[in-house]
Structure 1
Amino acid sequence: MIFFKGGVQIKKYALPAAIIILSIFFLNTFIDNEKKERVDTNDSDAPEIASWENKVKSVFVFKGDRKITNKMVANAAKKAAVLEIDPAAEASVKLAHNQSQMELSEWDLKAGKEIGKLEPYWILGTLNNLDTRIILIRAKTDEGTVTYLTKIKVKKNYSYQELLQPDLDGYTLIVFSNNDEGIGDLALNSQNYITQEVKGNLPELQKKYPDLGIRTLPSIYIFQGMMRVFKSEDMSELRSLITEVKKNVYEGANENWHVQVHAKQNISVRSAEIIISYREKEAITGEIAIIFRGEQWGWELPKGELQSGTLTVSGQTPVFLSKTEQLSVELSWNGKEERIVLEDKGEK
């Protein structure tokens, strides 16, 4: 069928044909632009993310300043390799030689948005967040902004890792119990402390947290970052630590040495004075090396020389001393070494 308009003959199918031609033109333009992005951005341009000897290449997302969408991030994330890092470790981000002005941010796929800016060049791990994190890497080139993506996952090295607070300088109080009484007024929640209560029967908790060595319930632990600084099986000992300043004496001896440790501690203080006395008549010249040891820690104190047969050293202990802690002092001098086991002599 033929229509006439203004003296011009128009076929009925001319308009749809024009629309099809325009659609093909725009589609080809879009495809050409995508191809151009792929050509302009090759693997050698992708920033490298590394933690110790482990390395991955980031994945290209897009070039330019257009708005990023959750779909774009999700598609790129499918192609990205995961870099696993140790708890509280960090991964370095290295740009290509033709890139500068790095910007890092974290993307939440569930929320569909960026959830925080990060400091350039380093991606810090976390203690208790074991989810795979998506990190966007933006950089400037001579041709404009380019955006890449990488994925980071913290290794689970400890069974109790998810109970710890993320701050390496902060403290976590964990109480394992099988009753309904709970920790009550002993919970510590402040800028430096968080409290976790975990309830269950003994076999269940031993199986779930094998590296804690839970022997009975209740079992009480305090961690500073990842380091255990207190262990007890007595709630009254925890109460004393929180509410009082305790002064305890630990003592041990053998035929050559007598050692006393005077400890002063509460929830915010932990100090000790170690008095070492030499019992033998044979003179010792030179410095004596001293290591104060617990079950899972060692504290190397400053070396010193005997003065009238006695050497006294002091400082802040790396952990809170507990009634159940097996303590000892190791002494080394003139190529010799001895270990003196200490006993808790109670409060001073």
Structure 2
Amino acid sequence: MKKYIVPAIFMIISIFFLNIVIDEPKEKETVPKETEEEEVSTQPHIFLSSSSDSRPMVLLGEGQTDPSAISAKKVKKAIKKAEAVETIPFDQLVPTFPVTPSSVIFSEWQVESEVLSTQVGSESIQAPLSPGEKVFILSAEWDDGTKRVYLSKINVKRTSSYQQLLAPEMEKYTVMGFFEPDYNYVIPSTNAGYVKREVIGTAEELRSTYPDLPLDVLPVFYVFQRDMIMYQTFEFEELNTFLTKETTSIFEGESENWEVTLTIKDRIGYSTTDVFLKYKGKNERPKGEFEFDVITDTLSMGVAGLTLNEQNEASTSMGGQLWDLKNIETAVILDGKEEKVKVQLMDQN
């Protein structure tokens, strides 16, 4: 009998401790704080849209509008989660919200260096020229004090073989020259309104690299307005004349109260507009300051703080390339009221 007592005692003790382990309530599993901080989520009702595509943005943080306070680890996780918006160079990208924020600021995230750029846009952004993916962080604030930070990706499509030769600024022209290796031409740099590209190679090499362009005969010169060819020549002297020639166009028009004359001196990539105004209204001439605007299909520019002299006249000058001279409208804004003046081309030389 004695040889069975010791094992029995050990069995009773083992069962006792086993019951304690089984009955003891488990501690609640907690998610590490670091893991919680790195959580990101796609927002189904908040989008970034191009002219052809729209994708939901990813929420990076709430209660703040400073994207620099968000960890690189969290940004990288959001990049993986985000769907890229398909777009083309210079396309306008616009965010949409169920309730419109009072403030929206875009910054670009440099993926390789993991550095946040300075502000690159407000309310909307413009797609860059270079093809490939770009990452943008959007800071938004609402009138009720709500603050959020979002992330979005875009993918700029490759639209041509010469895309990366074009000027990265939409408002600038690009002058391209394609030459044999023994060329001796230098494209003139007459103003800052265009960039020049001098590309060297044999006709066979250049045709292989840039199949979108006719390069059977070299040298050949092209002038691009954005990504469209606006001028082509095989003669260097003709190119030089085109780049340095100045055209003067005179536009005139009148409304009930105003006469307007625009003298536009235009060169490739640069123009100046001299403005002459005369008040012809029946009421007493305005004594306060007023604004004058020039509007085309592609551009709007203006000048404020104008006043009339004793002869009821005012004059000023404006710089800036007017892309389209076919359809120009002007406006005088006085005391918050706008009076439009349509002008017509009267002379050009």
Given that 1:173 and 1:188 are in contact with CA atoms closer than 8 Å, whether structure 2 keeps it comes out as no
Equivalent residue, structure 2, for 1:331: none
Q: Label 1:25 to 1:100 Cα distance change in 2 as closer, same or farther (>3 A).
A: farther
Given that 1:69 and 1:112 are in contact with CA atoms closer than 8 Å, whether structure 2 keeps it comes out as no
Task: Give distance in 2, aligned partners of 1:75 and 1:316.
Answer: 59
TM-score (ref. length: structure 1): 0.56
Give a deviation string over 1:179-221, Cα, whole Å, max 9, x none. Answer: 233433x332642011111111111211222222222111111
Equivalent residue, structure 2, for 1:69: 71
Equivalent residue, structure 1, for 2:49: 50
SS at 2:99 equivalent: coil
Give a deviation string over 1:63-111, Cα, whole Å, max 9, x none. Answer: 3437123222111111111111122211211123385532221111223
Task: Give distance in 2, aligned partners of 1:125 and 1:236.
Answer: 36
Give a deviation string over 1:249-291, Cα, whole Å, max 9, x none. Answer: xxxxxxxxxxxxxxxx975799xxxxxxxxxxxxxxxxxxxxx
Q: Is residue 59 of structure 1 aligned with residue 66 of structure 2?
A: no
Task: Give distance in 1, aligned partners of 2:205 and 2:229.
Answer: 21
Equivalent residue, structure 1, for 2:227: 226
Task: Give distance in 1, aligned partners of 2:245 and 2:325.
Answer: 27
Equivalent residue, structure 2, for 1:92: 94
Give a deviation string over 1:98-143, Cα, whole Å, max 9, x none. Answer: 855322211112232221313333221233x223111112223668
Task: Give distance in 1, aligned partners of 2:145 and 2:35.
Answer: 17
Deviation of 1:242 (Å) = 4.2
Where in structure 2 are the equivalents of 1:1-348 lying within 5 Å?
A: 28=31, 30=33, 34=37, 43-44=43-44, 47-65=46-64, 67-97=69-99, 100-127=102-129, 129-140=130-141, 144-184=146-186, 186-188=187-189, 190-242=191-243
List gaps (5 residues or longer) in structure 2: 1-26, 248-265, 272-323, 328-344
Deviation of 1:228 (Å) = 1.3
Q: What letter matches 1:197 in structure 2?
A: E
Task: Give distance in 2, aligned partners of 1:135 and 1:316.
Answer: 46
Equivalent residue, structure 2, for 1:258: none
Task: Give distance in 2, aligned partners of 1:26 and 1:189.
Answer: 70
Task: Give distance in 1, aligned partners of 2:179 and 2:51.
Answer: 39
Q: What letter matches 2:93 in structure 1?
A: A
Q: What letter matches 2:79 in structure 1?
A: A
Equivalent residue, structure 1, for 2:301: none
Q: Label 1:240 to 1:71 Cα distance change in 2 as closer, same or farther (>3 A).
A: same
Deviation of 1:158 (Å) = 1.6
Task: Give distance in 1, aligned partners of 2:347 and 2:75.
Answer: 52
Q: What letter matches 2:97 in structure 1?
A: L
Q: Label 1:193 to 1:42 Cα distance change in 2 as closer, same or farther (>3 A).
A: closer
Q: Label 1:97 to 1:230 Cα distance change in 2 as closer, same or farther (>3 A).
A: same
Given that 2:103 and 2:123 are in contact with CA atoms closer than 8 Å, whether structure 1 keeps it comes out as no
Task: Give distance in 1, aligned partners of 2:241 and 2:325.
Answer: 27
Give the number of aligned pairs: 233
Deviation of 1:33 (Å) = 5.2
What is the alpha-carbon root mean square deviation over aligned residues?
Answer: 3.8
Task: Give distance in 1, aligned partners of 2:243 and 2:126.
Answer: 32
Given that 1:168 and 1:226 are in contact with CA atoms closer than 8 Å, whether structure 2 keeps it comes out as no
Task: Give distance in 2, aligned partners of 1:130 and 1:115.
Answer: 19
Q: Label 1:59 to 1:182 Cα distance change in 2 as closer, same or farther (>3 A).
A: farther
Q: Label 1:177 to 1:140 Cα distance change in 2 as closer, same or farther (>3 A).
A: same
Q: Label 1:206 to 1:71 Cα distance change in 2 as closer, same or farther (>3 A).
A: same
Give a deviation string over 1:6-63, Cα, whole Å, max 9, x none. Answer: xxxxxxxxxxxxxxxxxx999647279559x76xx66335x20112341100112223
Q: Which aligned segments of 4 or more residues in structure 1 are displaced greater than 4 angstroms? A: 24-29, 31-35, 141-144, 242-246, 265-270, 299-302, 313-317
SS at 1:168 equivalent: coil
